[in-house]
Structure formats: C-alpha cells, structure tokens
Amino acid sequence: IFWNFASALTAVAGAVIVLAASRRFESVTDLLIPIAAGGFIYIATADMIPEIHRHRVRKLSETFRQILFFISGVAIMYALLVLE
C-alpha cells in the first residue's frame, strides 16, 4: 500500500509542477497534450496486443479483419484531426 500511495503522489506532484510552470510559460499544454496522448495510446495498445495474441487466431480472414478495424480507427482519428 505504501508504494501505491507513493506512486499516486507523483501524479499530485506533477499537477503542482504543471500548474506552477503554466504561470511562467503559456504553451505548457501544447507540450504536455502530445505526451499524455502518447501515454494513453501506449496503455491501449499494451492492453490490446496481448489479448489479440492470446486467442491465437488461425484464420487469415480474422487477421485481415483485425487489421482493417485498426486502420479504420487510425483513419477516423486522422479525419477528425483534419476536419477539426
């Protein structure tokens, strides 16, 4: 429980540091948003990839379907970026 509490304190410390830095620099959020997005993408893929491999899909059509949905998701995110 101690280590869980200690790791949670790093989130609080990070928030305090960002709040202090945002008063001195205007574009702190421009730097931190891509870092946060990359962290979320890493967490999502690190959770999805083992799940895909665990099923040991043997059918080629199932593999193509997974690739198609992955590419579709990337395309939708790109379209949202362009249309925003």
List the domain boundaries for the chain: 2-83
Structure tokens at 15: 């928030």
Give the position of tokens 């665990």. 54
At residue 30, the pLDDT reads: 77
Cα–Cα distance list, 42 to 29, 50, 57 (Å): 20, 13, 23
SS3 of 28-62: HHHHHHHHHHHHHHHHHHHHHHHHHHHCCCCCHHH
CA distance 35 to 14: 13
Which residues of the chain, if any, have pLDDT below 70? 51-58
The answer to pTM > 0.95 is: no
